[in-house]
Structure 1
Amino acid sequence: MDEADRIIGLYERHALAFDRQRGRRFFEKPWLDRFTGPLSPGASILDIGCGSGEPMAAALVASGFAVTGVDSSKTLIGLCKVRMPSAEWIEADMRRLALGRRFQGLMAWHSFFHLAADDQRAMFPVFAAHAAPGARLVFTSGPKAGIAMGEFEGEPLYHDSLAPEEYRRLLAESGFAVVSFAPEDPACGGATIWLAQAA
């Protein structure tokens, strides 16, 4: 088992620590507003790798969107169910996601980049399969191709990224047009952010 395959177990083992440490200072709000701006009230949004649901999914629920959150951690999904019982929460591996329905918005914020490169490539058909016509897609990646290792609770924390040119190609092949690309946005904690829209 390599470090990418250990991510699911790591987040489940340290779910409560992750929840405690996940920043609630909502500096992501401008990007969330850009993502949801064109969506109709009550639009359906799929949060892929939702974690404990705070602050991102919680803000969407508070704004009246119909949120479906997916995460591989049973403990984190349990926290979401307690905190936001009006939303739908599903314990599942994003790599095998097949819900059989489409959403007006798809979000993979600080989750998708934990996948190995080939698994990331395979996610673009998954995005397309869950995207309604005109759907918005937002996700974070690294600023350039390559693996970056971090650490969480004393364990290695895997991140991977494709090159920006490859993300653009994969988006186009999956029927998405890039709306905005912000590498290492200083106003959003240095996150590299992609916002796209389905045809």
Structure 2
Amino acid sequence: MATEQQVPAFDLIGKRYDESFVERDVQLAEGAWLIEQLPEQARVLDLGCGSGLPTARQLLDAGVEVVGVDESPVMLELAEQQASGGTYLHQDLRELGDLGEFDAVVAFFALLMIPRGDIPPLLAAARAHLRGPKLLLVSMVHGDFDFFPINFLGAPTSVSAYPPDKLRDVVTAAGYEVLELKEFEAQAEPERIEVQLYLRARAV
């Protein structure tokens, strides 16, 4: 039987993530910008799609085909309920395999859940799947640590973070042109404010 430490953190967190992480205005604005850039019948890969809120549902409502990938079956079950119409796959973000081509890849607060050494090859692998506008949206937390153990919403996990300049360098080195990088303060869980980074890029 799996111990609590072996269960993916978001299996333990489940719907409490949506209930606690209520400041989504910037993420929704990034999704709206993406929708404006996409061609008709666009296809988007949502890395770390979680519960499907808000991004997968926002894209689906705009008529975009969404493929969501997540390691948590609990979150994927929520995505099926809350953002129905997408294709949701239970797999490691770092093993994209043969998913076909996409007009854009989004990774909202997903890359922070893996070691920093795994992020450049993941970004490069995602780039190989891009076509058309070849867009990438990434959000992370401002910081400078590598897979640091924390307790998030009562669940043990480990997270990685970059300062803005280092995130820009990592994305550029993976074969993208950074179009914009912004910082915002947001409430990530009750009584804790964090600085979040939102990056727009295009594969070159």
1:88 is aligned to 2:122: no
AA aligned to 1:156 is P
- In 2, Cα distance between the equivalents of 1:187 and 1:39? 27
| Cα shift readout 1:20-47 (whole Å, capped 9, x = no counterpart) | 4343754422222223321113311110
Amino acid at match of 1:152: F
How far apart, in 2, do the equivalents of 1:49 and 1:8 lie? 16
Residue of structure 2 equivalent to 1:131:
130
Q: What is the CA deviation profile of residues 143-186 of structure 1, one whole-angstrom value per residue up to 9, with x for unaligned ones?
A: 34224654224333422124544433333333311010113x24
| 1:167 lines up with 2:163 in the alignment | no
For residues 46-92 of structure 1, the C-alpha deviation after alignment (integer angstroms, 9 at most, x for no partner) is 10000000111111111111111111111211222233332111111
AA aligned opposite 2:96: L
Rounded Cα–Cα distance in structure 1 between residues aligned with 2:82 and 2:143: 36
**Is residue 2:158 matched to residue 1:158?**
yes
Matched, 1:192 2:189: no
Distance 1:56 1:30 in 2: 10
Secondary structure, counterpart of 1:168 in structure 2: helix
* Structure 1, 48-57 or 186-195: larger mean CA deviation: 186-195
Task: Supply the distance in 2 between the matched residues of 1:63 and 1:117 (Cα, whole angstroms).
Answer: 33
CA contact (8 A) 2:185 2:196 kept: yes
Aligned residue in 2 for 1:3: none
Secondary structure, in 3 states, of the residue corresponding to 1:28? helix
CA RMSD of aligned residues (A): 2.6
Unaligned ranges ≥5, structure 2 = 188-193
Q: Which moved more, 1:137-146 or 1:41-50?
A: 137-146
The separation in 2 between residues aligned to 1:128 and 1:83, in whole angstroms, is 28
Q: 3-state SS of the aligned residue for 2:51? A: coil
Percent identity between matched residues is: 21
Q: Which residue in 1 is equivalent to 2:119?
A: 120
Distance in 2 separating the partners of 1:75 and 1:195: 29
TM-score for the superposition, normalised by structure 1 = 0.83
Residue 15 of structure 1 corresponds to: 14
Deviation at 1:119, TM superposition (A): 1.4
Once the 2 structures are TM-superposed, how far is the Cα of residue 133 of structure 1 from its aligned partner?
A: 4.0
Structure 1 contact 74–91 (Cα < 8 Å) conserved:
yes
For structure 1, the residue ranges without an aligned partner over 5 or more in a row are 1-5
> Tell me, what secondary structure is at the counterpart of 1:95?
coil
Farther-moved stretch of structure 1 (101-110 vs 19-28): 19-28
**Paired residues for 1:99-114 under 5 Å:** 99-114=98-113
The residue type paired with residue 171 of structure 2 is: L
Contact 1:12 1:74 in 2 (8 A): yes
2:63 is the alignment partner of 1:58: no
Counterpart contact for 1:70–1:92, Cα < 8 Å = yes
Aligned length: 193
